[in-house]
C-alpha cells in the first residue's frame, strides 16, 4: 500500500516537473562501473584538472561569504532562521529555532568567518546563537545535534567561550533522554507510544555525544552513541550496502516492527541523502571510536555510491538512486555536499590508492558544485550559495531549491580540502581510553 501511494505521489511529481517516466533501474554492486575518479593522478594539481576546471577554494569561500552577507541583509524576520528560498516569490523561507535546520545558518557563518575573517559574519553568527540558546533544553527532537553542535560546536571550537561549552553539555543531556536501552537507539520521530522510529539522519547527531564525553570525561554519552551506531549498522543496511531511511522498533522488546520509505522513492530504494548521512556518519563515528567495523561500514557506503550505475559522471547524485525516471529527474546538491565532506575525512583514515581516490572524488564533487550549474550568481538565490537541492519529494516539498544544510556541508567540504582547517576542525578529537572509574580519558 505504501509503495502504491508513493507511486501516485511520484506520478504527480513527474507531471509537475515535466519529467519522463522510465522503467525502474535495478541496483547491484555487481553492475558497478568505473568512475572517472578511479584513475590515479600523481598530485593535487592533476586531480583538480580532471574536474575540467581547477577549483579555486579561496574564490569559492569569498563568493560564499559574500552570499551570506547578502542573505543577512535579506533576513527581515530577525528572530527567524533561513531554511530555503522561493525564487517565484523572491523571498526567504524561514523557521523558528526548534526546526531541525536552525543550526546550519549560524554554523555556516562561523565556518565562513574562520575562512575569511569578515567580522560581520561573526557578528551575525553570535546573534543567531542567542536565538538558539533555549533549544539546549529541547527533549522533543533527536535533531538537537544538528541544531546545537553545528552552531555552538563551531562557536566553541573557534572562541573557547565557557558558556558555549556549558550549553553544548546541556544539549547532550537533552539528547540522551531519547535513548532506549531496549532498542539500543535514540528515538527520532515522536509518534504513537508503541512506535520507536529511527532514521539514518540520526547518525549525524552522535557527534554531539562523542564531544560531550571528551568535554566531561563521562562515558555515558560515548556509550549511547556507540550503541546507536552499532544498532543502526546491524538493522538499517541491506546486503548491497544500501540503507533504509527509517525503521520502526517495538520500544518494549527492540524488535523491528517495519521498514519505512521516509523521504526515498520506496521502502527498498536507496535515497541519496540518506546514503550520504550514512557515509558521513560512520566516518565521524570512526574518528572517535577507532573501531575498524565503523571504518569498514563507511567504506562500504562510499563504494556503494561511487560504483553505482546510476551515479552521474560529475558525482552529483539523483535524489534517489532508484528513481524510476533517471536521468530525467532531479539531482540533489545537498547529498553531494555531504558526500564531499565525508569523503575528504574518510580519505584520512585509509591509505594508498583508496585514499587518493576518495580525495579525487571529493574534489570532483566540489568542482561541480562550485561551477555556475550549481553555484548561484552573486546577489541572487536569496543569498544561498548552492542551487538544485531536494528536500522531500514524497511530501512534495523543497524540490529543486537551495537548502541551508547543502550550503553548510559544501562550505565544510571546502574547508576540509585545506589541511590546516581540517586539523583545526578535529583538534579535540582523540581516541578514548577507559580509566579505572569507567570514564573516558583523552590525550590533548
Spacing of C-alpha 380 from chain mean position: 24
| 122: Cβ contacts below 8 Å, ≥ 6 apart | 109, 110, 113
Query: What is the reported pLDDT for 282?
Result: 98
- Which helix or strand (DSSP H or E) is residue 249 part of? strand 246-249
CA-closest candidate to residue 169, choices 152, 185, 146: 152
Query: What is the reported pLDDT for 418?
Result: 77
- Which helix or strand (DSSP H or E) is residue 392 part of? strand 389-392
- pLDDT tens-digit series, residues 59-113: 999 999 999 999 999 999 999 999 999 999 999 999 999 999 999 999 999 999 9
Domains: count for the chain: 1
For residue 25, pLDDT beyond 80: no
Report the alpha-carbon distance of residue 297 to residue 113 in Å, rounded.
Answer: 34
pLDDT, average across residues 263-284: 96
Helices 104-116 and 119-132: crossing angle in degrees, nearest 10, is 160
Question: Does residue 1 fall inside a structural domain?
Answer: no
How many CA atoms lie less than 13 Å away from 159 in the CB half-sphere?
18
Determine contact, residues 225/186, Cβ cutoff 8 Å: no
Determine contact, residues 170/147, Cβ cutoff 8 Å: no
Question: Does residue 21 fall inside a structural domain?
Answer: no
- pLDDT tens-digit series, residues 162-179: 999 999 999 999 999 999
Question: Does residue 2 fall inside a structural domain?
Answer: no
Residues in a beta bridge with 405? none
Q: Which domain holds residue 162?
A: 28-430
- pLDDT tens-digit series, residues 136-146: 999 999 999 99
Question: Does residue 211 fall inside a structural domain?
Answer: yes
pLDDT-based confidence at residue 426 (cuts at 50, 70, 90): low
Question: Does residue 262 fall inside a structural domain?
Answer: yes
- C-alpha distances out from residue 66 to 82, 113, 222, 317, 379, Å: 16, 11, 38, 27, 8
pLDDT-based confidence at residue 310 (cuts at 50, 70, 90): very high
Question: Does residue 328 fall inside a structural domain?
Answer: yes
Report the alpha-carbon distance of residue 17 to residue 20 in Å, rounded.
Answer: 9
Question: Does residue 51 fall inside a structural domain?
Answer: yes
CATH number at residue 134: 1.50.10.10
* Rg from Cα positions in the chain: 21
Among residues 56, 201, 320, 429, the one annotated as catalytic is 201
Spacing of C-alpha 1 from chain mean position: 30
CA-closest candidate to residue 285, choices 340, 216, 358, 232: 232
Examine the residue annotation and report whether 429 is marked as an active-site residue of this protein: no
Examine the residue annotation and report whether 325 is marked as an active-site residue of this protein: no
Among residues 90, 143, 240, 325, the one annotated as catalytic is 143
Report the alpha-carbon distance of residue 442 to residue 430 in Å, rounded.
Answer: 6
Task: Determine phi and psi for 123, rounding to 5 degrees.
Answer: -60, -45
Question: Does residue 375 fall inside a structural domain?
Answer: yes
If you average pLDDT over every residue of the chain, what do you get?
87
Query: What is the reported pLDDT for 441?
Result: 40
Query: What is the reported pLDDT for 88?
Result: 96
What pTM was estimated for this model as a whole? 0.88
Residues in the chain: 444
Report the alpha-carbon distance of residue 319 to residue 205 in Å, rounded.
Answer: 22
* Most confident stretch, 118-127, 186-195, 422-431: 118-127
Query: What is the reported pLDDT for 248?
Result: 97
Amino acid at each position: 500500500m505504501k509503495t502504491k501511494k508513493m507511486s501516485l505521489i511520484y506520478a504527480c511529481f513527474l507531471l509537475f516537473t515535466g519529467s519522463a517516466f522510465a522503467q525502474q533501474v535495478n541496483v547491484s554492486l555487481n553492475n558497478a562501473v568505473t568512475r572517472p575518479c578511479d584513475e590515479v593522478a600523481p598530485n593535487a594539481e592533476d586531480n583538480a584538472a580532471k574536474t575540467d576546471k581547477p577549483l579555486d577554494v579561496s574564490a569559492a569561500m569569498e563568493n560564499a561569504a559574500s552570499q551570506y552577507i547578502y542573505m543577512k541583509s535579506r533576513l527581515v524576520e530577525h528572530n527567524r532562521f533561513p531554511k530555503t528560498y522561493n525564487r517565484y516569490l523572491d523571498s526567504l523561507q524561514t523557521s523558528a529555532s526548534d526546526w531541525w535546520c536552525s543550526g546550519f545558518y549560524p554554523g555556516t557563518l562561523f565556518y565562513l568567518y574562520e575562512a575569511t575573517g569578515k567580522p560581520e559574519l561573526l557578528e551575525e553568527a553570535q546573534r543567531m546563537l542567542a536565538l538558539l540558546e533555549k533549544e539546549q533544553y529541547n527533549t522533543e527532537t533527536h535533531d538537537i545535534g544538528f541544531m546545537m553542535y553545528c552552531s555552538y560546536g563551531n562557536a566553541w571550537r573557534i572562541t573557547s567561550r565557557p558558556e558555549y561549552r556549558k550549553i553544548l553539555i546541556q544539549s547532550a543531556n537533552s539528547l540522551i533522554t531519547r535513548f532506549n536501552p531496549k532498542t539500543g537507539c535514540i528515538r527520532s520521530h515522536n509518534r504513537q507510544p508503541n512506535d520507536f522510529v529511527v532514521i539514518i539522519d540520526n547518525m549525524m547527531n552522535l557527534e554531539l555525544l562523542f564531544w560531550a564525553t571528551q568535554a566531561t570525561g563521562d562515558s555515558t554519552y560515548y556509550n549511547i552513541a556507540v550503541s546507536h551506531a552499532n544498532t543502526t549498522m546491524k538493522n538499517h543496511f541491506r546486503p548491497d550496502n544500501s540503507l533504509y531511511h527509517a525503521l520502526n522498533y517495538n520500544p518494549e522488546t527492540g524488535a523491528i516492527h517495519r521498514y519505512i520509505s521516509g523521504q526515498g522513492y520506496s521502502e527498498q530504494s536507496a535515497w541519496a541523502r540518506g546514503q550520504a548521512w550514512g557515509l558521513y556518519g560512520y566516518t565521524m563515528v570512526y574518528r572517535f571510536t577507532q573501531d575498524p567495523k565503523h571504518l569498514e561500514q563507511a567504506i562500504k557506503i562510499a563504494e556503494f555510491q561511487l560504483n553505482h550505475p546510476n551515479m552521474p559522471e560529475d558525482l552529483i547524485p539523483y535524489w534517489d538512486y532508484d528513481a524510476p525516471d533517471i536521468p530525467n529527474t532531479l539531482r540533489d546538491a545537498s547529498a553531494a555536499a555531504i558526500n564531499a565532506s565525508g569523503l575528504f575525512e574518510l580519505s584520512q583514515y585509509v591509505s594508498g590508492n583508496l585514499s587518493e581516490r576518495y580525495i579525487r572524488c571529493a574534489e570532483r564533487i566540489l568542482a561541480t558544485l562550485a561551477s555556475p550549474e550549481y553555484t548561484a550568481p552573486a546577489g541572487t538565490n536569496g543569498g544561498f550559495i548552492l542551487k538544485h537541492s531536494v528536500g522531500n519529494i514524497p511530501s512534495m516539498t523543497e524540490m529543486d531549491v537551495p537548502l541551508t544544510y547543502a550550503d553548510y556541508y559544501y562550505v565544510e567540504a571546502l574547508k576540509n580540502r585545506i589541511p590546516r582547517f581540517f586539523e583545526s576542525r578535529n583538534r579535540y578529537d582523540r581516541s578514548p581510553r577507559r580509566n579505572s572509574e569507567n570514564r573516558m580519558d583523552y590525550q590533548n
